[in-house]
């Protein structure tokens, strides 16, 4: 079963189907979230600067199992998502928008999977009691207010401003410039050839239409990261990407491995992939997600039987 969901967007702003065809609404552009399958609810949250398109292959593979209803929205301030409605963005504001979408779906809770910024928001939603389980794929937010690692990440994105300007100025034509593929994929994949031309074009389009870039970076300089992971109350899965150049382990995973409850979290290492592994290894990402979710569902079933 395949469905699309309007998720609170103005009806005139929407396109049909889950392919994400978009229409301009004033200065914003909105598109339907990916919504596929039936079964256990699974929420997929994308990285900073990018959009729901990073999940296209994985979402379809999850739905094709016949066990999961998959919802992958574009978060506020990102290409195709709703307006943030505020000058500055934070993980809390992003979580507010996602919670509204969950409410409109009728989902009190879901298995939440997030990559990078999406992982940060996933743990924020867990703190609010909206998660059945949480999977962070190279999650951001593993720092305190003044941790040097936080400012290292901010510096990496500031150094990327010339690339952002080039994307704004040239659009897809920027990919014809020398070394453009290497530069465009450096933060995303282990090797430049791991991302297809179609995916690269979508990445450039996402970067060109992401007001969250400055909204979130400015706010992040003053914000703490995830302070409550030690109180995480659901099964948690930390997925580390071996070739991650943005949040490399163990420097950026240590906060999670040190503070997540030892008896309810597990760690998986994905060999040979970069920060956004859904592009270069969608099948492996799907296997990692389904393996963990199936464990969670079996545990829930045993608990219900023992209490029934």
Burial class (CB in 10 A: 0-12, 13-18, 19+), 30: buried
pLDDT at 177: 81
pLDDT digits (tens, 9 = 90+) for 29-46: 789 999 999 999 999 999
Question: Who wins on pLDDT, 258 or 301?
Answer: 258
Mean pLDDT of the chain: 87
pLDDT at 7: 34
Beta strand pairing status for 40-45 and 68-72?
parallel
Q: Which domains does the chain have, with CATH numbers?
A: 11-307 (3.40.50.1820)
pLDDT at 167: 81
Cβ 168 vs Cβ 162: under 8 Å: no
In the chain, % of residues over pLDDT 90: 64
Question: CA 142, CA 252: separation in Å to the nearest integer?
Answer: 6
Q: In what order do the strands lie in the sheet with 34-37?
A: 34-37, 68-72, 40-45, 110-115, 131-137, 236-241, 265-270
Where does the pLDDT of residue 22 fall: very low under 50, low under 70, confident under 90, or very high at 90 and above?
very low
pLDDT digits (tens, 9 = 90+) for 107-145: 999 999 999 999 999 999 999 999 999 999 999 999 888
pLDDT at 247: 96
Cβ 40 vs Cβ 69: under 8 Å: yes
Where does the pLDDT of residue 16 fall: very low under 50, low under 70, confident under 90, or very high at 90 and above?
very low
State yes or no: pLDDT of 20 exceeds 80.
Answer: no
Which residues are catalytically annotated? Answer: 116, 244, 275
pLDDT at 254: 94
State yes or no: pLDDT of 12 exceeds 70.
Answer: no
Where does the pLDDT of residue 305 fall: very low under 50, low under 70, confident under 90, or very high at 90 and above?
low
In the chain, % of residues over pLDDT 70: 88
pLDDT at 15: 30
């Amino acid at each position: 079963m395949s469905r699309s969901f309007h998720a609170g967007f103005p009806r005139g702003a929407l396109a049909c189907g889950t392919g994400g065809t978009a229409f301009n609404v004033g200065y914003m552009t909105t598109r339907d979230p990916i919504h596929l399958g039936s079964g256990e609810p699974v929420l997929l949250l994308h990285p900073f600067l990018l959009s729901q398109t990073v999940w296209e292959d994985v979402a379809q593979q999850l739905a094709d199992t016949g066990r999961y209803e998959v919802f992958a929205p574009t978060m506020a301030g990102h290409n195709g998502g709703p307006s943030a409605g505020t000058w500055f963005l934070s993980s809390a504001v992003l979580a507010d928008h996602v919670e509204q979408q969950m409410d409109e779906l009728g989902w009190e809770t879901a298995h939440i999977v997030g990559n990078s910024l999406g992982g940060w928001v996933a743990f924020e939603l867990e703190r609010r009691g909206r998660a059945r389980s949480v999977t962070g794929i190279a999650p951001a937010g593993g720092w305190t207010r003044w941790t040097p690692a936080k400012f290292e990440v901010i510096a990496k994105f500031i150094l990327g401003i010339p690339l952002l300007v080039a994307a704004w100025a040239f659009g897809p034509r920027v990919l014809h410039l020398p070394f453009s593929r290497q530069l465009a994929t450096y933060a995303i994949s282990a090797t430049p050839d791991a991302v297809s031309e179609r995916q690269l074009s979508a990445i450039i389009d996402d970067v060109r239409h992401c007001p969250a870039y400055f909204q979130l970076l400015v706010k992040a300089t003053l914000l703490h990261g995830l302070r409550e992971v030690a109180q995480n109350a659901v099964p948690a899965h930390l997925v580390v990407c071996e070739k991650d150049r943005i949040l490399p382990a163990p420097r950026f995973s240590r906060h999670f491995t040190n503070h997540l409850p030892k008896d309810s979290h597990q760690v998986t290492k994905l060999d040979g992939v970069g920060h956004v592994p859904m592009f270069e290894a969608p099948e492996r990402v799907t296997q990692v997600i389904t393996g963990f979710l199936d464990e969670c569902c079996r545990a829930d079933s045993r608990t219900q039987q023992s209490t029934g």
